[in-house]
Amino acid sequence: MLDTGSVMKKISKHKAKRIFLQIPEGLKTRVLEMARGLEREGLEVFISVDPCYGACDLRDHEARMLGCDLILHVGHSDYGLKSKIPVIYEEFRMDYDPVPLLKNFLQDLKPYRKISLVTTVQFLSSLDHAKKFLQERGKKVFIGSSKRGKPGQVLGCDFSAAKSLDGIVDCFLFMGSGTFHPLGLAMEVKKPVLFLDFEGSQLLDLKDEKRRMENIQLMQIEKAKSCKNFGILVSTKPGQMKVKTAEKAKKSLSELGKNAWILVADELTPEKLLGLQIDCLVDTACPRLREDSRLFRKPILDPRDIEKLSE
């Protein structure tokens, strides 16, 4: 739960009285309790109920419109975004010891001597437990530096903590919950990715799932080759707005004889594209969008895929 005392010490440094509270979907069941604790301290709290996909989704515009002095952004680490009002990033950590689960899968880890450990911000405390346990059993353990997060931390759009070690380690061991991050990692690195699933109490080798995703990606590219009208998706979320990438994609598509338009929205959904005569989409926003190609009913490409359209 939110440590109100610790948060209040941070808030008092900014002399803030009017707070804009942002939380991810998974913490909505706790947000009223969080707000109540802050209100007991004499603060005025506005709760954002828009989906919050990460620290890239900073709602400073809404906060300023409401006259707030500060944004309290819970559940994510600092993404390095600039804001016109102060932002406190309160990382929601879960103290989970992975050792009992790791003991069950030592035999599966036997082929790998050099292992890189990665996780999301919630489970960063698990890294040291796992590192000590594996080192005591003769493994050489690496925890890489991240461009946008803490050592060993991966985000859906930043796997730098792992990619710098791809030529050094024998495998990557992602520890946490949900397949989005470990599968995204598997698509970015060459070495095997193993997923220690805290919720399912299992160890999964993602090689088959990676192969399936690669096949889907190839099919998307093949479909896109025959498409004429392309929509390049740009999000206005501060950490997702990649206008230069979109402009470069439009230029590349035009050179291939394709029609291309840059489509802009805060949150990009299939409903917002209804009525547009678009055959294919290029995603410059959140990589999660590419998981939803079935919902959009169109191929969704990564900008890096455009050069493959001429092959």
- Whole-number mean pLDDT of the chain? 93
Q: Would you say the pTM of this structure is higher than 0.95?
A: no
Q: What is the pLDDT of residues 240-279, one digit of tens each?
A: 899 999 999 999 999 999 999 999 999 899 999 999 999 9
- Ranges of CATH 3.40.50.11850 domains, the chain: 99-205
- Ranges of CATH 3.40.50.11840 domains, the chain: 4-90
Whole-number Cα distances in Å, 113 to 141, 154, 226, 289:
8, 22, 46, 35
CATH T-level fold of 215-310: Rossmann fold (3.40.50)
Percent of the chain, pLDDT > 70? 100
| Among candidate residues 152, 293, 160, the one with its CA nearest the CA of residue 223 | 293
What's residue 186's pLDDT?
A: 95
Q: What is the mean pLDDT of residues 199-214?
A: 95
What's residue 30's pLDDT?
A: 87
Q: What is the pLDDT of residues 93-145, one digit of tens each?
A: 888 999 999 999 999 999 999 999 999 998 999 999 999 999 999 999 999 99
CB neighbour class for 231 (10 Å; exposed up to 12, middle 13-18, buried from 19): buried
* Stretch among 18-22, 105-109, 140-144, 212-216 having the lowest mean pLDDT: 212-216
Q: Which residues of 130-158 are buried (b: 16+ CB within 10 A; e: fewer)?
A: bbebbeeeebebbbbebebbbebbbbbbb
Token pair listed for 174 = 């992602």
- Ranges of CATH 3.40.50.11860 domains, the chain: 215-310
* CA gap 23, 30 in Å, rounded: 9
Answer yes or no: is pLDDT of 166 > 90. Answer: yes
* CA gap 200, 225 in Å, rounded: 40
HEC readout, 197-209: ECCCCEEEECHHH
CATH number at 99-205 = 3.40.50.11850
CATH T-level fold of 4-90: Rossmann fold (3.40.50)
